[in-house]
Structure 1
Amino acid sequence: MLVGDAYVAVTTHGAPRGRLVRIPLDSPGDPGAWTELVPGGDVVLTGVTLAGDRLVLGELVDTVSRIRILDLDGAELGEVPVPGAGSVSSVAQGVVALGVMDQVVGCEDAITFGYTSYTQSPTVYHYALASGELTALQGAGHTLPGLVTSRVWATSKDGTRIPCTLVHRADLDRTRPQPTLIHGYGGFNVAELASYLGPLAAFVEAGGIYAHAHLRGGGEFGLEWWDGGRLHNKQNTFDDLYAIAEQLIADGVTVPERLSRWRRWEPRRAR
């Protein structure tokens, strides 16, 4: 993204979860000449967009989307009040392809973005930078009241801690095993985040538990998370899934005969 005589971008050079830098056009290949605007840390930086004289920075905080407004030098001006703990992307499908897909669309004085969560159907929002007003532009407006989320962790075969988000009714009896569908992707540096349950809503509302496993190979936790589940490390993705399943059984969330894996989608390759 060009800003004056420099290029502003998110890079994983020197920061596996990303950092925001300003790159002079006359020496782009020299990292020593770059100016760091936002340092790397625990938060995954997913992309940056220009909106007028402000930078709009997309982030993932423990698999939850956050949008911050910065000045051109990286100082924080505010945070966009997204509707809840969900996912933000330009397509509102709960999928962020890191380094490929813009999370927001910026103009001179506003941004638009898609938002979805486990309990809210995809909705397009407009956020006015000056007034801070958030307006829903388009969407079916479907919500699933009475559902809650919780987080469990499992230890994979190599000792790595793997998170899993559970979605279930708030009044569900968690003292006994319940039918559980486990889903995980873990590929192509794609951060598969919270998205509307859609056809799974009936299962969860009837007393089932949806378990969304955040597997290595995806982009939920940055470059090292992706590298940990690709190529020669691909077995880790499956080990992560097995570890989550075993943890759910050990915790009494479910039992083997009431546990199944559900595949939501897979990328299609040209034949």
Structure 2
Amino acid sequence: MRDIASGEVLDDAVTGAGTGLVWSLDGRYVFYTRRDDAWRSFQVWRHEVGRPTGEDVLVFQEDDALFSIGIDASRDDRWLEIWSESRTTTEVALLDLADPTGAPRVVEPRTPGLDYGIEVDGDRILVVHNASRVDFDLAWAPLATPGRESWRPVLSGEDGDRILGVSAFETFTAVTMRHGGLATVRLLDRTDDGYGEPRDVPVDSEVYTLAVGSNPEYASEGLQVVLVSYLTPRAVYDLDPATGEMTLLQQREVPGYDPSRYREERLWVEARDGAKVPVSLVRRADVRPDGGNPVLVSGYGAYEISNDPYFSAARLSLLDRGVVYAVAHVRGGGELGRAWYDQGKLLAKPNTFTDFVDVTRALVEQKWAAPDRVAAEGGSAGGLLMGAAVNEAPELYRVVHAAVPFVDALTTILNPDLPLTVGEWEEWGNPLEDPEVYAVMKAYTPYENVRAVDYPTILATTSLHDTRVFVAEPAKWVQALRDTVTSDFAERPVLFKVEMGGGHGGHSGRYDSWRQHAFENAVILDALGAAE
């Protein structure tokens, strides 16, 4: 990695384990992250510009395999932030960049299950934490005494409101959070003795994603926000925190696109155990629930990752052909807060799969979908969802696309020598130590549960160089399908497409990515009888 200021080259072992390089205030030192030679620990190093990298100083080391680290600079560039995180626990340390050879100071020592994030706000610190509420609260403390005993409440939320993060500025604070299943932003004025009353940033839409954009300056008087939806191309606004007025700065151009031709809305489906599952629905304006529509149902449901509304030009091709696009916001994701995630992980993981099947059935019952024209699509952990759902209810689907699918989950999670396995035990459980976890995973992992019945058309796509889900997983699954299912492969083939380049995210080039999407859509549309 090249040091831009001096032209020297840092050690090749410097990796992107965190957020990158952080400079001291005097520009004399640079901090970076790396792993040790055996890849057993994460480290933070201090490099003095102009000196050999062999003289670099180890500042911090994380030896617990459950934890990874990242570094960043505070918005005012005064502090180095060292984040040490597992799936459920966080520890943050601060180092004064005006004293770069000093020692980091821990904000709050790690406590199993205590998850927190920080934002330096001048002479105080803001903390987003789950110490008192599963969906997190916002507190503040003096920077001199940042520990938990000094945390003073600022903002809580209603049931299901998930506070995600905070961005501090000289005169106001922006809180990113989830409310009603949607990503949104709340503002608070900074006062001498704390913070003022929160106020929402208004959005005139039923389904949307609102996020804080790029705001590098602590002294900024305005706030850049980004708004997008299934039908709204990405738009960047300058928000006046005092008045709430939003000025459009830039919006993605989509030639020939007329949003009035389409509709987006949200439905709620009751799952078999009574849980209410949100479903986003996008369609051409003239499409009605008449029982004859082709439908593509998408899902993910893991790691508390929310499948939020986003605009896709490729999706317009489906909508123009009359396909109803539905997103099942199943448990295991973060759409309805941390509890929604907890209800779809570890031993509760099967809720993710049954939610998806129940949403699919509801779309048919509500006549949004023709019974024989339903497609499903998901990638990575969403590919696991596809495999589990099609094993449970193969009769529901006409075609299923599983992208880089995690379909041999039990085998992978049983192998701690793989680079991601140990950290994943907090998501799936540890089947090496817990017989109940083993039994639950054995019962849902797709490769282990293929049945000798008719299946839909299956398209499994992967990349040879995927280091997250190795190519062997979908390869084994595809072979198990071909050996077991009773489908007529001339009518319902089991297809396996391997990209020889790219990784977990597929092709990186624009045109290659478009060709990949076009192929996948063509398979789905052909199976649904909607290719014309």
Q: TM-score, normalised by structure 1?
A: 0.83
**Aligned-partner SS, 2:364:** helix
Give, in whole Å, the separation in 1 of the partners of 2:156 and 2:242.
Answer: 26
Shift of 1:82: 4.4
Which of 321, 325, 339 does residue 210 from structure 1 map onto? Answer: 325
**Mapping for residues 37-186 of structure 1, pairs under 5 Å:** 37-42=154-159, 43-72=161-190, 73-76=194-197, 78-82=199-203, 84=205, 85-89=207-211, 105=215, 107=217, 108-130=220-242, 132-142=244-254, 144-186=259-301
Mean CA deviation greater in 260-269 or 17-26: 260-269
State the alpha-carbon separation in 1 of the partners of residues 347 and 233 from structure 2: 37
Structure 2: which 5+ residue stretches go unaligned? 1-118, 383-403, 405-465, 471-532
Structure-1 separation of matches of 2:230 and 2:379:
14
Q: 1:257 to 1:176 in 2, by over 3 A?
A: closer
How far residue 133 of structure 1 moved from its aligned partner, in angstroms, is 4.1
Which structure's residues are more often helix, by fraction? 2
Q: Is the 8 A contact 2:291 2:364 kept in 1?
A: no
| One-letter identity of the residue aligned with 1:80 | V
Match of 1:99 in 2: none
Alpha-carbon distance in 1 for matches of 2:195, 2:306:
24
Instruction: Output one character per residue of 1:22-64: Cα deviation in whole Å (capped at 9) or x when no partner.
Output: 1344554435x42111123232222111122111112222232
- Structure number with higher strand proportion: 1
The whole-number CA distance in structure 1 between the counterparts of 2:264 and 2:341 is: 25
CA distance in 2, matches of 1:204, 1:264: 21
Is the Cα–Cα contact under 8 Å of residues 17 and 41 in structure 1 kept in the other structure?
no
Query: Which has the greater radius of gyration?
Result: 2
Whether the aligned pair in 1 keeps the contact of 2:225 and 2:237 (CA below 8 Å) is yes
Take 1:152 and 1:78, find their aligned partners in 2: how far apart are those partners?
A: 26
Q: Which residue of 2 aligns with 1:93?
A: none
Give the structure, 1 or 2, with the largest relative contact order (CA under 8 Å, sep 6 or more).
1
Render the CA deviation track for 1:97-133: whole Å, top value 9, x for unaligned: xxxxxx6636321122322110011222222335644
Number of matched residues? 258
| Runs of 5+ consecutive residues of structure 1 not aligned to the other structure | 91-102
Query: 1:49, 1:106 within 8 Å by CA — same for their partners in 2?
Result: no
Equivalent position amino acid for 1:76 in 2:
E
2:360 paired residue among 224, 245, 251? 245
d(CA) in 1 for partners of 2:302, 2:246: 33
> Is residue 291–residue 370 contact of structure 2 (8 Å, CA) maintained in 1?
no
CA shift in 2, pair 1:57/1:119, >3 Å: same
The 3 A distance-change label for structure 1 pair 80 and 225 is same
Aligned sequence identity (%): 26
Give the whole-Å Cα distance in 1 for the aligned partners of 2:271 and 2:243. Answer: 47
